[in-house]
Amino acid sequence: MVVVRARKFDGLEHRRWSARLVAQEGSLIILDASFAKEVQHDLLGTIPKDTVSLEYYWLDRWYNVFRFSGPAGELRNYYCNVNFPPEFDGHVLSYVDLDVDVLVNSDYSYSVLDEEEFEANAATYGYPEDVRRNVRAALNELKMLIESRSFPFVDRTT
């Protein structure tokens, strides 16, 4: 099992969960997790118990991608976090969440979320310009991957 730790810029842990290591290929780490109980999410609504989260992390990219699906594998949506590249020691995968997210619907339409939160925290914590530049670049890369339906934004059920 791998423990995933999402932290905020100030270092405080925001979320923690356990996942199974599916693969590690170069800088890509793929984890598999499932929701042990129903979760009410502000943006995603009700996430039913047993929803599967296939999680893609790159040690050299400023984002991660979660593919949420039902127990039978049907795509629910994707959720992308913009963050510092994660650290992984083989047991714990840890990353600093930079607030900006992208929600991708099952029809591949998408919305960029929490840009106001990013700007507020950038001011509060004094994000350096290179962090702001990497966030913009990560958003642009995610949009390109989504629009072209490039990995990992491919429908695995067809």
- For 10-49, the pLDDT digits (tens) are 999 988 999 999 999 999 999 999 887 888 877 777 888 8
Q: Bigger pLDDT: 133 or 155?
A: 133
pLDDT value of position 156 = 60
Structural domains of the chain sorted by starting position, each given as residue range(s) with its CATH number in brackets: 2-147 (2.40.380.10)
What is the tens place of the pLDDT at every residue in 91-121? 999 999 999 999 999 999 999 999 999 999 9
Mean pLDDT computed over 57-78: 93
Long-range contact set of residues 68-75: C-beta below 8 Å, sequence gap at least 24: 68/44, 73/156, 73/157, 74/157, 75/106, 75/155, 75/156, 75/157
pTM of the shown model: 0.93
CA distance between the termini of the chain: 29
Residue pair 31/93 in contact (Cβ under 8 Å)? The answer is: yes
